[in-house]
Amino acid sequence: MLNVDLSPISSFVTPETLAAMEPRVRAAHETLTSGTGAGNDYTGWRYLPRDYDKEEFARIQKAAKKIQSDSKVLVVIGIGGSYLGARAVVELLRSPNYNLKKKDTPDILFAGNTLSTDAILETIELIGGRDFSINIISKSGTTTEPAVAFRIFKDLIEKKYGKEEARRRIYATTDKAKGALKGLADAEGYETFVVPDDVGGRYSVLTAVGLLPIAVTGIDIEALMGGAAEAMEAFSVLSMDNPVWKYAAARNALYEQGKRVEILACYEPSFRFMCEWWKQLYGESEGKDGKGLFPASTEFTADLHSMGQFIQEGERIMFETVVRFDKPKGTVTIGEDPDNVDGLNFLAGKDLSFVSEQAIRGTRLAHVDGGVPNILVEVPEVSERWLGQLIYFFELACGVSGYLLGVNPFNQPGVEAYKKNMFALLGKPGYEDMKQALEARL
């Protein structure tokens, strides 16, 4: 089981303070498991690792094999919860350089997560003349960014292959019954996968939303689900020894003491999109009703040379949660240099992981000394199994933490504001009055 080490926050939050939170954490966890809390109709992710649709899972694996056999590129179109999870898992388990590495699985190009003309043009350029397929992912089917991108790539694929073959290369992941994308997919005859009704976007990585693109890259999605299932079992324990309880209690205790920013940090560059996924998970779940920790992220040691100054000596509003993987994939030994001009011979014969370890230890002490508490999440290694555990850990802790904070962790009313303004300004039918009012203000 992954471990949460709270010893580096003990000078900020005493063990007694944490122990005193036990009844509140218990109540929050029980609210979640009993399904009696706000937003309870969006908690289907809790039992997904055990109760997922096995028939659909087999179809995902079959579709992934087909895409691997007939495509050099898979264009994955989606935004927010319909994008970040897949990218996070692929980058961590495969590589941020996945497309550059020699391999026998298709490149993955993510689209529909921006309205940038340049980005779309570059994606088209990167596909070039290669065979490709499309996975359009949108629960609502009406989100502007992916819908616009899908129009463009649908046109491209139909021009390349003709309508008949194109429809065999388009996979739609959307609501099981409603929405514009579901209607289009049925009309055109695309293979469809389901975003379950009771799973919100940011909790959907372990549904077809994440699993199809992830499987196309050759990642073992059974092992990923297996890890999540282990976590579901292990983290159901109602006890302050439960890592989920420790994390939820610690971050809320720090918030109550006045901390306003939580920085998720990792020493693996491949963790960058896990941070992006985590930021959406916690930001959308807790940032409401004038409350919540602002989720930020850093990539160490690179950011120690940029954000390190602020973390060490700036406004004392933050704490860090450091995710640490114990075992690297291999070893790199530092060599001996007879000239020793760089003065590094004292490290000769040492493994690079030893150097990294001292950076982690030294940074933790420096930041704690600077008034930045550190929560440590220890994960044995980067693998499907342990990532499955980590994903479930963060999801469950987010639900518990949101109820502790006193918000509905499963809605996102604030996301609508910009969408409405954009629709009005674009001249969408039904928004005429709003358009006039907005234009007058601009």
By CB under 6 A, name the binding residues for ligand PA5.
Answer: 79-82, 138-140, 143, 146, 200-202, 284, 412
Burial class (CB in 10 A: 0-12, 13-18, 19+), 155: exposed
Closest to ligand PA5 by CB, 363 vs 412, is: 412
Nearest approach in angstroms of CB 282 to ligand PA5 is: 12
Closest to ligand PA5 by CB, 135 vs 138, is: 138
Element (H, E) at 384: helix 384-405
Closest to ligand PA5 by CB, 152 vs 240, is: 152
CA distance 405 to 113: 30
CA distance 12 to 179: 49
Nearest approach in angstroms of CB 139 to ligand PA5 is: 4
Taking each helix axis from N to C end, the angle separating 384-405 and 272-286, rounded to the nearest 10 degrees, works out to 20
Closest to ligand PA5 by CB, 279 vs 385, is: 279
**Backbone phi, psi, residue 391, to 5°:** -60, -50
Nearest approach in angstroms of CB 28 to ligand PA5 is: 21
Handedness of CA 320, 321, 327, 329 (dihedral sign): negative
Nearest approach in angstroms of CB 31 to ligand PA5 is: 21
Closest to ligand PA5 by CB, 137 vs 322, is: 137
Of residues 62, 176, 178, 419, which has the active-site annotation? Answer: 419
CA distance 435 to 429: 10
Buried/exposed code over 200-229 (b: 16+ C-beta within 10 A; e: otherwise): bbbbbbbbbbbbbbbbbbbbebebbbbbbb
**Structure tokens given for 38:** 């706000």
Closest to ligand PA5 by CB, 77 vs 322, is: 77
Nearest approach in angstroms of CB 17 to ligand PA5 is: 32
Nearest approach in angstroms of CB 265 to ligand PA5 is: 23
Active site residue 29: no
- Given a contact cutoff of 8 angstroms between Cβ atoms, the answer to whether 252 and 402 are in contact is no
Of residues 284, 286, 299, 395, which has the active-site annotation? Answer: 284
CA distance 85 to 83: 6
> Left, alpha or beta for 80 (phi > 0: left; psi -120 to 50: alpha)?
left
Annotated catalytic sites, by residue?
A: 284, 305, 419
